[in-house]
Chain A
Amino acid sequence: MGRGYIVQDDVEGYLSKLCEQKADPVTGLLIGQSSTQRDFVVMAIRTPQKEESAAAARNSVDKEWVTEHARQVSRMLPGGLSVVGVFIITDADAKDALTTLRQLLFAVENLISSEHLWDPADDDVTDCVTLQINPKTRKTVCRTFDIKDPKSVAKPADWKYQSGLCSSWATVSCSLNVDMLLPLPNNRTSTGNMEECLKKGLKAWAHQIECGLCLIDGKRLPEDSELTVGQRRNLRQTYTAQLLITTENKRLTDVIRQCGGSVSVTGAIHSRAYLHSNKPKARQAEKLLKRDVVSTVATRVQMMLEELLASDQESKGSCRDKQQKELFCLPHRIFCPLKVSGPLCVCDYQFSDEDLSEVPERLKEMLDIDAAEEDLDTRQEMTVEITGCDVTPEPTQEKVEAPEHKKNYIGVAMATAVALLATVASMLYLNDI
């Protein structure tokens, strides 16, 4: 018995339109939620056009580009929604197409999961879907692969369109305080060092969140219970979560160390996760929300680091005996509904110096959705105003850094991402299956 994917009916229309385009092949991502009971696909997103690509290159699949697009898209999905598969629209030979799809799928999923700061859970679904559509006959072939198994073979799966899928989702959300203080190593404090230090700190913090106690609507629900247990039917299907954490790590030795400075992340984030509302389980809600909490903070920090690297903001390391303090506003999260009705949203991050109009442009480029500024929900997080703050008695050089942005977002992100992940990326492609 293969898996069965229930797909929002809009997706059929979207894929149909892509079939009518002249380009071949057209690749893209499938977004949805997979659980042990059901699999849902709520949208399909075509891979954006690469700007300066040779004519010849347009007719082949650029694996690196598809993977990078997937990584960017993954950052724009709140908890519960993820890249569950890839599609290709081509009239090439079916077997070749399947091979290409398989390579894309593994590359995409491996890259995305390599950025996760949490450990995979036993009840995670590791099957992902590939969809092949012949543009002339419109015939669709749907197969799944188990991405945990590099030798996995294609298994047939069902692909069924259904309307109204987007309205039957429960939303769990919270606003959460982050307060991290980490020492910087006692040598040249470049952005690279700060990245390593932040990654370690984030991993430890992510573990705290993972082990934290989760209350939903003020109650501690037993593991296997459903979200709606003991409540009158919550028509709007929104739940508020609370997270209580403790420190697990006992640090009792080597308590004072030399350092080259410190980096802190303080402030709050809004986190959200969606569950399909047919008997949503409390345990899954907790898992998906915690993962969103961790990834939204990690994503913002990563984005900030990428911006710093891109705009070459190395700290002028010569005068290190005088204290140098820099403050950076992490981007804040903006939500955009997928449809006029229905709770599902995608999200984007806006830097403090960006204009709100840039967000719909990014949404169009990355997610191929048409959104107007008025549709955007900017109320979940507040932007912070940094005025000169005198925390230390010594005179400090304080500058609020406003990293510059270029219009071709994916291009910029791609360049810096490759710079930062050079080793990882090359390893992925070397291990091609």
Chain B
Amino acid sequence: MVVVDSESATILRVKGLLEFRCQLDSTDEQLVRNAISRTFETLRSQVKSESCVLAVSDSPVIIWPNKDAYATPEEITPSTPCEDMHQWIQADEQETSGKKSSKKKSKKSSLASVINLRLMTEVTKPGPLSAPILTKTVLKSHFVSVTLPLDCVVRTGRSDTIKDACEQLIEALTHQLCEMEKVTLQNMKGMTLLVPEPVHFLLPEPKGLVTVVYPAGVPDSQLVTQRKELHQQFELPDDRPYFRRANAYHFPNEPYKDGYLRNPHLALTHPTLDNGKVYLVQGIYSYHHYMQDRVDDNGWGCAYRSLQTICSWFQQQGYVEKPVPTHKEIQQALVDVGDKQASFVGSRQWIGSIEVQAVLSHLLGLTSKILFVSQGAELASKGRELANHFLTEGTPVMIGGGVLAHTILGVAWSETTGQIRYLILDPHYTGAEDLQVITDKGWCGWKGPDFWDQTAYYNLCLPQRPKVI
């Protein structure tokens, strides 16, 4: 659900499992490495051979990329433009209904379209061929048996044909196998081997989607050197993470397993103010609200939910690995820092911005700034501060005051006229994760300055990004 490119490029993603098997005759390190390299070379030849096949998911299209892009059905030729493949794909109705918005009518939206392909092997060949041989090798040795999870992404331009796409895909697959070989050999310790896993990251334009191979099971904390190299290679600032596993790009057609909506604000049209600009939260957050997770917090949990939304942002940007805390965990944290009595845990007591700041600090090690306004009417004058916050930190803001708590996801502000609008995510919503309802009824929506209680005082908690990669 992230805007990729205004040029409506087609992204081709090929996934497949390749079996890596070999017998290690000796434990001598160099010989072992040679055997592993040889097996990778065999796999690379396999990918470049005529038995390599790409099957387009949810469609009858099958392509032989190394046979001059021969394809079936016969209407598809090597010179067919890649974009045409969309016509052959049966879209899954259930997935697109979640994204339906009355404001986006055209199919060719600015969301990049992804075509998924499966890597397959053709085992048949025109005969006659030689009958099989059984080879038996008896030797006390080691056997390596791994399935390599290949996952490559290629971005094609408007005018690219199937043939062009095939060349790019095969190159991407061979390159990934080389990367996997490197990572495997780097991480071999004696007779143990870590599985190389590709992860995709979306970098700021024009770099786009980039794939990195990480060794499975090694936590982010041990991969700092690799990330430093990557930041240098891609000329990225060294104070925010781009390559943590949690930063992995989420493809538009993949549902989130946890069921929470991501970035519902993207379905809205943003207001236009005279000489005004829109300043929004950066990155991905989940929408947390009343009644979720089978917790009935209707009437008292709004600040907790806003805090959960903030935690989800830090988790999905890769700053923390801890999952989003529950109400009880939040309450326990406040008891642990001495802010509340033990009886607080399990109660339905409200919390405010100060408590939110305390929990973010104690549970997740994050610092936050507190902004105070003595009257709601003053909020209209905080345009510059909020705009700056979204520009530099880009984190969701929790605002509490009167009897309500909300989350601010952005502002539209005009420096000259002082006009201001607030993008609000309302934790008081009690319904289901229905994007249509949430945006139509304004549970996520743009509000004017009169949204606030003009006489009540408000505290805002502005979480700060840690300067790490």
Q: B-facing mask of A298-339, CB < 8 A → 1, else 0?
A: 001100100000000001010011111111111111000000
How far is the CB of B295 from the nearest CB of chain A, in Å? 35
Q: Which residue of B lies closest to A260 (CB)?
A: B140
Chain A residue nearest in CB terms to B141: A259
In the complex, which residues of chain A have a beta carbon less than 8 angstroms from the beta carbon of B21? 181
Which A residues are in CB contact (< 8 Å) with B126?
A: 175
Known: A220-B62, A383-B130. Contact between A256 and B147, CB under 8 A?
no
* A356 interfacial contact with B, CB 8 Å: no
- Interface positions of A from 191 to 225, Cβ below 8 Å from B: 194, 209, 212-213, 215, 218-220
A25 within 8 A of B: no
| A178 pairs with B132, CB closer than 8 A | yes
How many angstroms between the C-alpha atoms of A317 and B138 in the bound complex?
9
- Report B43-101 residues with CB < 8 Å from chain A CB: 51, 53, 55, 60, 62, 72-73
Contacting residue for A177 out of B129, B133, B134, B216, CB 8 A:
B129
Chain B neighbourhood of A265, CB < 8 A? 132-135
Please state if B134 and A328 are interface contacts (CB–CB under 8 Å).
Answer: yes
In the bound assembly, the distance between CA atoms of A64 and B50 in angstroms comes to: 48
**A241 and B138 in contact, given A183-B23, A257-B145, A267-B130 (Cβ under 8 angstroms):** no
Residues on B with beta carbons closer than 8 Å to the beta carbon of A249:
147
B271 close to chain A: CB less than 8 A: no
B128 touches A297 (CB 8 A): no
B195 partner, pick from A189, A255, A333, beta carbons under 8 A: A255
Q: Flag if B134 contacts A327 (CB, 8 Å).
A: yes
> Which residues 91-125 in B have Cβ within 8 Å of A in the complex?
118-125
Residues of B within 8 A of A424 (CB): none
Residue of A259, A323, A328 near B143 (CB, 8 A) is: A259
A245 at the interface (CB under 8 A from B): yes
Residue among A183, A220, A247 making CB contact with B19, cutoff 8 Å: A247
Give a binary string over A377-404; 1 marks a CB under 8 Å from any B CB, 0 the rest.
Answer: 0011111101000001010000000000
Alpha-carbon gap, A183 to B21, bound state (A): 9
- In the complex, which residues of chain A have a beta carbon less than 8 angstroms from the beta carbon of B123? 176-178, 209, 212, 243-245
Say whether B138 contacts A328, CB under 8 Å. no
Q: In the complex the two chains form, what is the Cα distance from A324 to B21 in whole Å?
A: 20
Residue numbers in A under 8 Å from B149 (CB-CB): 250
Confirm or deny: A262 has a beta carbon within 8 angstroms of a beta carbon on chain B: yes
In the bound complex, what is the Cα–Cα distance between A175 and B120 (angstroms)? Answer: 17
Point out the residues of chain A lying under 8 angstroms from B130, CB to CB: 267-268, 381-384
**Size bin of chain B's contact surface:** 35 or more
Q: Are A177 and B191 in contact (CB under 8 A)?
A: no
State whether A326 touches B132 (Cβ < 8 A).
no
**How far, in angstroms, from A300 to B134 measured CA to CA in the complex?**
10
Instruction: Decide if B18 touches A247 in the complex (CB within 8 Å).
Output: yes
In this complex, what residue of A is CB-closest to B130? Answer: A384
**Shortest Cβ distance from A186 into B: residue:** B140
Determine which of A246, A315, A320 lies in contact with B136 in the assembled complex, contact meaning CB atoms within 8 Å: A315
CB distance from A278 to the nearest CB of B (A): 27
**In the complex, which residues of chain A have a beta carbon less than 8 angstroms from the beta carbon of B146?**
251-252, 255
Task: Tell me the nearest residue of chain A to B61, going by C-beta.
Answer: A220
| Residues of B close to A304: CB separation below 8 A | 134
Most buried by B among A220, A245, A246: A246
Q: Contact string, B127-171, partner A, CB cutoff 8 A, digits 1/0?
A: 111111111111111111111010000000000000000000000
> 9 shortest A-B CB distances, which residue pairs?
A267-B132, A175-B127, A268-B129, A332-B131, A183-B143, A259-B143, A261-B138, A247-B17, A384-B130
Given contacts A177-B129, A213-B120, 20 further A-B contacts (CB under 8 A): A174-B124, A175-B125, A175-B126, A175-B128, A176-B124, A177-B124, A220-B72, A246-B16, A256-B24, A259-B23, A267-B129, A268-B125, A269-B132, A324-B139, A327-B135, A328-B134, A329-B131, A381-B131, A382-B129, A394-B25
Binding site for B on A (CB under 8 A): 174-178, 181, 183-184, 186, 189, 194, 209, 212-213, 215, 218-220, 241-252, 255-270, 297, 300-301, 304, 315, 317, 320-333, 379-384, 386, 392, 394
